[in-house]
């Protein structure tokens, strides 16, 4: 772990979901390196959500403790009310407080739309979207109670969306819909929870993990530097900063991050418009739309459609 001097998260308690591997593991280790005490949540399942006998959460806890940090494992299903409530309870019971929630857990069940089973749709929406909502709800209820008790927190939530949720991704309609839903959830939560001292942001990361190993199959290095641009550890510094008190005033934002690049994503905004001040006929509406589209910026390309 880094020196105890000027550590960004000194004294803070951080929950990271899906923290046994990949991005979640990197986030947990990075928070611990900056002085946070970490609740390492991982259900210990395979890439498709089926049980994995080797739950990795305890291994990450041991890594943190071996480096002089403090962490505890949590293995419940955070896409259930009971699991999400126990997650927050574990932080409060173990460390007496909660400061940051990093929602990261997820898995994939990719199919082309016409081949996608209802169960695969439900499973991905459940884990990604419901698995964000329930921990957020229970953490926010705690912070609201703290505010009403005269102890306003400096609380942070960092959600995990994806480029698939911002642009779409061929073969991932369930995943894309869930990740787009997380952006909407982030915006609403940021607006509703500001009064309780809670800031809510989202990241759309690109990194080499189990979920992306079919895309980023090899180490990708920046020319002349040897810098592995797809390492999950590259994403974590932004997550740590967003989860710290240093990010004061930053809320309701979505950041795309990959390698050494950070981009503020700008969402739906009004483009070219016209108002007839009366009802359109279908033909006139169509002609007008074509004129407006000629003035508009083209949409971003859906991943995998090129």
- Between CA 113 and CA 175 the distance in angstroms is 11
Contacts of 259 by beta carbon, 8 Å cutoff, 6+ apart: 206, 220, 222, 227, 229, 230, 234
Which secondary structure element, helix H or strand E, spans residue 119, and what is its range? helix 118-125
What is residue 214's three-state secondary structure? coil
Q: To 5 degrees, how large is the angle CA 68–CA 71–CA 77? A: 160
Kindly give the residue spans of alpha helices, DSSP state H, lying in 156-281.
163-167, 173-193, 236-242
Q: Is 53 exposed, middle or buried (0-12, 13-18, 19+ CB in 10 A)?
A: exposed
DSSP 6-72: T-TTTT-EEEETTTTSHHHHHHHHHHHHTT-EEEEE---B-TTS-B-SS--HHHHHHHHHHTT-EEE
Rounded Cα distance, 154 and 4, in Å: 21
Closest CA to 95 of 40, 18, 157, 141: 40
* Residue 184 burial (CB count, 10 A): 14
Distance CA 109, CA 130 (A): 16
Known catalytic residues are: 162, 175, 179
**Residue 106 DSSP code:** -
């Amino acid at each position: 772990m880094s020196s105890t001097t000027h550590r960004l998260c000194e004294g803070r308690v951080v929950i990271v979901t899906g923290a046994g591997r990949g991005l979640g593991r990197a986030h947990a280790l990075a928070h611990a390196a900056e002085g946070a005490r970490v609740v390492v949540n991982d259900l210990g399942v395979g890439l498709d959500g089926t049980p994995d006998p080797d739950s990795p959460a305890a291994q990450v806890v041991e890594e943190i403790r071996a480096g002089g940090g403090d962490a505890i494992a949590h293995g419940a299903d955070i896409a259930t009310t009971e699991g999400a409530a126990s997650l927050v309870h574990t932080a409060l019971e173990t460390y007496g407080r909660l400061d940051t929630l990093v929602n990261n857990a997820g898995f994939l069940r990719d199919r082309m739309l016409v081949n996608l089973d209802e169960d695969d749709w439900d499973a991905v929406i459940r884990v990604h979207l419901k698995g964000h909502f329930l921990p957020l709800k229970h953490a926010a209820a705690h912070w609201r109670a703290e505010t009403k008790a005269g102890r306003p927190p400096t609380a942070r939530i960092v959600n995990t969306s994806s480029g698939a949720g911002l642009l779409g991704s061929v073969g991932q309609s369930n995943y894309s819909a869930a990740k787009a839903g997380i952006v909407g959830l982030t915006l609403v939560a940021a607006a509703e929870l500001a009064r309780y001292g809670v800031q809510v942001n989202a990241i759309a990361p690109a990194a080499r993990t189990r979920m992306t190993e079919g895309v980023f199959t090899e180490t990708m290095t920046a020319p002349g530097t040897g810098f592995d641009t797809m390492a999950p550890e590259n994403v974590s510094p932004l997550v740590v900063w967003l989860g710290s008190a240093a990010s004061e005033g930053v809320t309701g934002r979505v950041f795309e991050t990959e390698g050494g690049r950070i981009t503020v994503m700008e969402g739906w905004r009004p483009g070219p418009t016209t108002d007839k001040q009366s009802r359109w006929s279908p033909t006139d509406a169509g002609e007008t739309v074509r004129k407006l589209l000629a003035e508009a910026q083209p949409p971003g390309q859906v991943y995998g459609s090129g």
